[in-house]
Structure 1
Amino acid sequence: MGTALAADGTRVAYQLDGEGPPLVLLAGQANSHHWWDPVRADFGGYRTITLDWRGTGDSDRPDVVYSTEGFADDVIAVLDDAGIESADVYGTSMGGRVAQWLAARYPQRVRRLVLGCTSPGKKHGHERSHEIRRALAQADQAGRDRILLDLMYTPAWLANNPGPYYVLGDRTMPTYARGRHLVASNNHDAWDELPNIKAPTLILHGADDLFSPAANADLLATRIPDARAHVLPNARHAYFHEYRTIASQLVRDFLNPTP
């Protein structure tokens, strides 16, 4: 465990585990580092670094404007505090949006980049439907959870995996912080910065992802130099959990290519 101090004085909690080359794992919107609990062990041989986004977990929860660019600056504060000059970065969902800024604006800090189930955002990205947005905006928490789980996992997987689930958001977040996360993710727009990414890039996506449509994978791959996309058949948004055997191996193979 560690605590980094962001530029605005916000304390950002982070977690280190294992030994080896550093690998930063970035979670989705309104989630803490527990997003990675089911698959963190897949990256044995790495020193994995996770963090609690501001507003979540053990990090401070300032009621100020949040942005994906600002979250990227928080990640840099964590790397500085941990004494890590450069690392591989694997970001999923909103974490993938943050990872885009990291690689574009801090190229010397990112060795290889993996973007999972994410989007360039705003007018260029393919966003979820209005029907899904309305369903997720309902007041009933149980109803929202049911919709979200259906977007994350196939019915067959849910039937055989009764939980706990790690992608439903940090329940300890205050309402204002959850809203700040939503606005930050919705306002993400890295389109103009994507061609500046220097790191070799792998893009992963579930073919049946309706939360962040799979068309974003090819869109990112054509916009980022030296990028390639791999779309997993039948997978939904949380491909990294349900299809972890395939997905984690794809990431490991990419981070350590055979000569």
Structure 2
Amino acid sequence: MTSLTSTTPRSQRVPGELIRVGDVHVRVNVTGEGPPLLLVHGLGAGLDLWAPLVSELKGYTVITLDNPGAGASTVPWPPWFMNKYAETLDAVLDELGFDRVDVLGLSFGGMVSQEFAFRYPQRVRRLILAGTTAGIGVTFGNPLALSVLATPLRYYSRSYMAMIAPFLYGGDAHAGSELVAEQSNLRHQMRPSIPGYFAQLTTASTFSSFWYLPTLRMPTLVLAGDEDPITNPLTCWVISKRIPDCEYQEIKGGGHLFLMEKPKLSADLIREFLEREAREDVDTEQKTARRRISRSA
């Protein structure tokens, strides 16, 4: 297993957008200005697939990456357990110089984000989990859709992507749609390797967060597409009921890719959650300060 605790300098950079953390290379991209927001994508997905949402996230420093096994990042072989993906996120944030961030994870990225929030809670200010699952035993998606995830062919064949998109992703992902065409083009630009895809798939199949979700203490928002065949609303609702300080919202007409289907609506929900919580923090501090002043008077 590739180690992240070797003597290789963590800060050693390699050409392009690759950074070296321990013994692995991770492709990253940092854009914008404002509070840092880390986006963690799904199974086999490169950071480029975030483009529609990132364009709507003005006012944030948006951090995206290729999870190991996707895009240009190192293939984790033999497959990792989920804790290694969390460890990689921790190392990437160290390398980029971010101490504490808001985190949004989609699908497999939501699983990684749950693990990261559990193991490194001091680094997660607020957590958003979109179209994801708590893992073994609590995934109630459509069996046909889940079976299609067994192959990365949708990243390699545009015609196959067009054929399976409606029953795999749901929502607006119908054959001939602008969403499917755009996502297909982006997937072809940075496809996962076959070993990399199956490494992530193996990790997902051994993952469970159900037992530790009640220990998460950061404010959390769970988002679900009401037409998502992979992680249907029940799958997401279970997560929301396990986390103490958690809100749950369904996106009407949203499929598994609702963050990219409806980027403006999604960005508005993200911003409202993050900024509302920030305002509440300020209000609490102001009330505390007023109490202190009244007592001293």
TM-score by length of 2: 0.79
> 1:131 aligns to what?
144
* 8 Å CA contact retained: 2:148, 2:168: no
**% identity of equivalent residues:** 28
Correspondence 1:93 to 2:107: yes
Correspondence 1:60 to 2:81: no
Query: Partner amino acid for 2:21?
Result: A
The number of residues matched between the two structures is 257
Rounded Cα–Cα distance in structure 1 between residues aligned with 2:107 and 2:203: 12
Rounded Cα–Cα distance in structure 2 between residues aligned with 1:170 and 1:189: 32
Correspondence 1:216 to 2:235: yes
Name which of structure 1's ranges 130-139 and 211-220 shifts more when overlaid on structure 2. Answer: 130-139
Gaps of 5+ in 2: 1-15, 281-297
Gaps of 5+ in 1: none
User: Which has the larger helix fraction?
Assistant: 2
Rounded Cα–Cα distance in structure 2 between residues aligned with 1:241 and 1:113: 19
Rounded Cα–Cα distance in structure 1 between residues aligned with 2:208 and 2:253: 28
**How does 1:190-209 map onto structure 2 within 5 Å?**
190-209=209-228
Compare relative contact order (CA 8 Å, sep 6+) and give the higher one, 1 or 2: 1
> 1:24 aligns to what?
38
Q: 1:245 aligns with which of 264, 279, 283?
A: 264
Rounded Cα–Cα distance in structure 1 between residues aligned with 2:183 and 2:226: 21
1:143, CA displacement in angstroms?
A: 3.4
Taking a change above 3 Å as real, the CA distance of residues 77 and 160 of structure 1, as seen in their structure-2 partners, is same
Taking a change above 3 Å as real, the CA distance of residues 224 and 127 of structure 1, as seen in their structure-2 partners, is same
Q: Give the alignment's Cα RMSD to 1 decimal.
A: 2.4
| 1:169-228 Cα shifts (integer Å, max 9, x gaps) | 875322111111111112210111211212100000101111112102221111011001
Q: 1:106 aligns with which of 120, 123, 142?
A: 120
Name which of structure 1's ranges 223-232 and 135-144 shifts more when overlaid on structure 2. Answer: 135-144
Taking a change above 3 Å as real, the CA distance of residues 118 and 256 of structure 1, as seen in their structure-2 partners, is same
* 8 Å CA contact retained: 2:72, 2:190: no
TM-score by length of 1: 0.89
Q: Report the 3-state secondary structure (helix = DSSP H, G, I; strand = E; otherwise coil) of the residue aligned with 2:241.
A: helix
